[in-house]
Chains A and B, each alone.
Chain A
Amino acid sequence: MALLVAATNPRGGEGVPLHLAGAVLAVGFGWWAAPPLTVRPGPASARLHLQLARHRNTVLATVAVLLAALSHPSAWLAAAITALLLGYLLRVDARSHVHLPTGPGAILAACAASALVLAAALTPAQTSGAARLLAAFGIAVAAGAVGLALHHGPGGRRERSGHPVDGR
């Protein structure tokens, strides 16, 4: 809920009552969506409200990002939103149905990456018209790198776990 409230920027310069109302709505939404899902994911349903309920943690994090994009947070608030979002994602991983706690190394790396990007983004620099194009190119390259990292090639048949598949 703190993440959502921060993302709405309740002390925004213009339209403070609007921001406050948004914060109140965000608190209500967070009350429903924030607790990590502890039930095993069942078969996917075609109904929208069931899908929303099933992915409400994801929806909350995404809504927080969108709210942060729409508001104009100050530098310290942007840092707080980044930290809160990362903390929420790690908490959901650790407390959800399958309990996938992230190791300390991965947490440190994620925090460092976020801090590095945030520091680079908040550093005053001269911009040109091609900056957005360059950023898009950089994001595409990063996406390609992530895709390569996740690519599962024709391996995986090495015996590692000591539980072989008999005769197959």
Chain B
Amino acid sequence: MSTTAPEQRDQPTLALSELPAPPPSGWRTAERTLRLLTVAVTAAAAALLTGRPWLLALAAGPVVLVVLAAPGRTRPAKVSATAEVTPSRCFEGETVTARISVAHDGEVGLLDPGFTPGPGLTLREQRVGAAAVELEFTAARWGRWTVGTVDLDLYDGGGLARRTVRVELGEVDVFPAPTAAGLTPIPVRLPERLGEHASRQAGEGVEVVGVRPHVWGERQRRIHWPSTTRRGSIQINEFGAERAVDTVMLLDALGDLADPVSGTSTLDETVRAAAGLTRAYLRTHDRIGVISVGGKLRWLQAGSGERQFYRIVESVLEVRKDLGYRTPDLHRLPPRALPAGALVYAFTPLADQRILDVLGDLSDRGNPLVAVEIPFGEPAVDPSDQDEVWAGQLWRADREAIRFALRNKGVPVVTHQPGETLDLAVAPLRRGRIQGRQR
């Protein structure tokens, strides 16, 4: 197999996927045949017109080359190609391999693949063999992507004619690479379900929340001796109950903004950050649900376990289908999507009034709510242009006003910088417990 380094190694283009024009059917003359016959015909015609016989020598060589390359009756009449793409699901940065096998009768010469890539994958390497072609891609961005289309040119034995077979490589699900996160802030009130978070209610956990007088029949090993000697009566350690927390990830998919400097996409970072926090909560056996707002409202009821992570991720993959967006259709969030008292993390660039309305609605319901801002950079300002400077200041003031309005409603706003661990953004929330309006 020969290996070639294709030119499509750059980042995938942010454009709607377009299917290339269908290739012509059947065998057609190859470039080489056209070249040789054109030269031969020109030389012969020139010899006849000018009456200079030596010009026929210019025609003789190409004609002999064409005749000797003629494949006879070995040119295939039936050709088919099948593609196998593995794996069909992967995470960002992983490798996807497509193997295209060609079946034919007769004899073929070279295979020449022409690849039209889908928007979410980058072609890394292509290997062309005698009867198969292997393409290696890197999954560059999360989403449900069309892998691409391969127009496979088959040359006959002499390379005089070629035939094109089109192969669709299907779709591949690219899951977002979760942002690193380990901290799991919790709300004041936790549901009555066993978990790993120490609550303020008395229970059978391991975290001491206070001492109280001993009641006859209680276990002696719980006696808190320093308090007992100080107060003169037996005092017992009181432990906090360990509860699980219901958490809902609210994804703002109303728009996808690109940072003017780094080019990072807010939708990419939104889902990566949500996936990271989902993993962190699932590690502590909490129940996680998801709501994505934008295009079409999608939600998944809260659940726990490793499979819930994949269910959540698959439910949001449709948000971005080959970079095509449907008209936003936003209604009130369904009650079943939000368990009572569930902690809601809203991942949003805070750039759309509709998501601010949703956050206001959630805040009014009394759910403990945290807004995780996904920044999308600042607009480039020419310092020599005073109007632009003022516009920039106004833009920053507007952004700060949005944050202030949310904080004023009791919604903490934290900022997650792309590329950083989510713990840096979430750590301030660990100083206390997140309070909703219902206290």
**B63 shortest CB reach to chain A, Å:** 6
* A66-B42, A139-B48 as given contacts; A57 in contact with B54, CB under 8 Å: no
Complex Cα gap A98–B75 (Å): 18
Known contacts A58-B35, A62-B42, A100-B32; is-contact A89 B20 (Cβ 8 Å): no
Q: Is A132 touching B48 in the complex (CB atoms < 8 A)? A: yes
- Which residue on chain B has the smallest CB distance to residue A105? B68
Which residues of B (58-93) have their CB < 8 Å from a CB of A? 58-80
Select from chain A the residue with minimum beta-carbon distance to B160.
Answer: A150
**Interface contact A106-B55, CB-CB below 8 Å:** no
Residues of A within 8 A of B431 (CB): none
Could you list some 27 contacts between A and B, CB below 8 A?
A40-B112, A43-B21, A62-B42, A66-B42, A68-B58, A69-B49, A92-B35, A93-B65, A98-B30, A98-B110, A109-B64, A110-B64, A113-B64, A135-B47, A139-B48, A146-B66, A149-B70, A152-B27, A155-B74, A156-B74, A156-B77, A157-B106, A158-B105, A161-B106, A161-B107, A165-B80, A165-B105
Interface centre among B54, B56, B104 (most CB of A within 10 A): B54
Which residues of B have CB within 8 Å of A78?
Answer: 54, 57
Chain B hits for A159, CB < 8 A: 105
CB proximity of A156 to chain B, nearest CB, Å: 4
Interface SS majority for chain A? helix
If A98-B159, A163-B103 touch, does A157 touch B78 (CB 8 Å cutoff)? yes
**Please, what's the 1-or-0 string for A104-138, where 1 marks a CB less than 8 Å from any CB in chain B?**
01100111011111101110000000001001100
- The answer to whether B112 and A98 touch across the interface, beta carbons within 8 angstroms, is yes
The 8 Å CB contact of B52, one of A69, A145, A165, is A69
Q: Judge whether B131 is part of the interface by a CB distance below 8 angstroms.
A: yes
Contact of A9 with B by CB under 8 A: no
Residue from A61, A69, A105, A116 within 8 A of B50 (CB atoms): A69
- Residues in B with CB closer than 8 Å to A1 are none
Type the 1/0 row for B393-423, where 1 means its CB is closer than 8 Å to any CB of A: 0000000000000000000000000000000
Give CA–CA (A85, B79) in the complex, Å.
Answer: 36
CB proximity of B128 to chain A, nearest CB, Å: 10
User: Which residues from chain B contact A81 at a C-beta distance below 8 Å?
Assistant: 58
- Indicate if A14 sits at the interface (CB-CB under 8 A): no
* Cβ–Cβ < 8 Å partners of B53 in chain A: 120-121, 135
**Binary contact readout A3-45 vs B (1 if CB under 8 angstroms, 0 otherwise):** 0000000000000000000000000000000000100111100
The interface residues of chain B lying within 8 Å CB-to-CB of A105 are: 68
Report whether B65 and A132 are in contact in the complex, using a CB–CB cutoff of 8 Å.
no
Beta-carbon contact of A106 and B58 below 8 Å: no
CA gap between A50 and B166 in the complex, in Å: 24
Chain A residues, CB < 8 A from B226:
none
Q: Does B98 contact A (CB under 8 A)?
A: no
**B: interface residue count bin:** 35 or more
Cα of A117 to Cα of B47 in the assembled complex, Å: 12
- A153 near B73: Cβ-Cβ < 8 Å: yes
Residues of chain B with a CB closer than 8 A to A55's CB: 31, 34-35
- Measured between C-beta atoms, what is the minimum distance from B258 to chain A in Å? 29
B275 adjacent to chain A (CB < 8 Å)? no
Contacts of A164 in B (CB 8 A): 103, 105
The list of the 6 closest CB pairs from A to B, nearest first, reads A155-B73, A118-B57, A69-B46, A121-B53, A100-B159, A156-B106
Q: Within the assembled complex, what's the spacing in Å between the Cα atoms of A161 and B73?
A: 13
CA distance in complex: A78, B416 (Å): 75
CB proximity to B under 8 Å, residues A76-98:
78, 81-82, 85-86, 89-90, 92-93, 96-98
Q: Which residues on B are within 8 Å of A, measured CB to CB?
A: 20-21, 27, 30-32, 34-36, 38-39, 42-44, 46-80, 102-110, 112, 114, 131, 153, 155, 159-160
From residue A35, how far is it (CB to closest CB) to chain B in Å? 14
Q: What total count of A-B pairs have CB within 8 Å?
A: 195
Q: Indicate whether A65 reaches chain B with its CB closer than 8 angstroms.
A: yes
B54 A122 Cβ-Cβ under 8 A: yes
Known pairs A43-B20, A164-B103; A149 contacts B67 (CB<8 A):
yes
* Bound-complex Cα distance A33 to B78 (A): 37
A65, A86, A166: most-surrounded residue (chain B CB, <10 A): A65
Q: Contact between A85 and B106 (Cβ–Cβ < 8 Å)?
A: no
Q: Which residues of A contact B67 (CB under 8 A)?
A: 145-146, 149-150
B106 with A106: CB separation less than 8 A: no
A160 at the interface (CB under 8 A from B): yes
Complex Cα spacing A164 to B102, Å: 9
| Across-interface contacts of B51 in A (CB, < 8 A) | 132
Q: Is the CB of A150 within 8 A of B32?
A: no
Residues of A close to B63: CB separation below 8 A:
113, 142, 146
Name the contact of B70 in the complex, choosing from A92, A113, A150 (C-beta under 8 A).
A150
Residue of A82, A98, A102, A109 near B58 (CB, 8 A) is A82
Is there an interface contact between B69 and A96, defined as CB atoms closer than 8 Å? no
Bound complex: CA A65 to CA B37 (Å) = 13
The contact of B105 among A98, A121, A142, A157, by CB within 8 Å, is A157
A168 at the interface (CB under 8 A from B): yes
A105–B158 Cα gap in the complex (Å)?
14
Residue of A nearest to B40 (CB): A146
**Are B35 and A111 closer than 8 Å at their CB atoms?**
no
A75 to B54, CA, bound (A): 9
Is there contact, CB below 8 Å, between B46 and A65? yes
Q: In the complex, A146→B54 CA distance in Å? A: 20
Q: Are A150 and B66 in contact (CB under 8 A)?
A: yes
Is B64's CB under 8 angstroms from A89's CB? Answer: no
Q: How far is the CA of A55 from the CA of B80 in the complex (A)?
A: 29
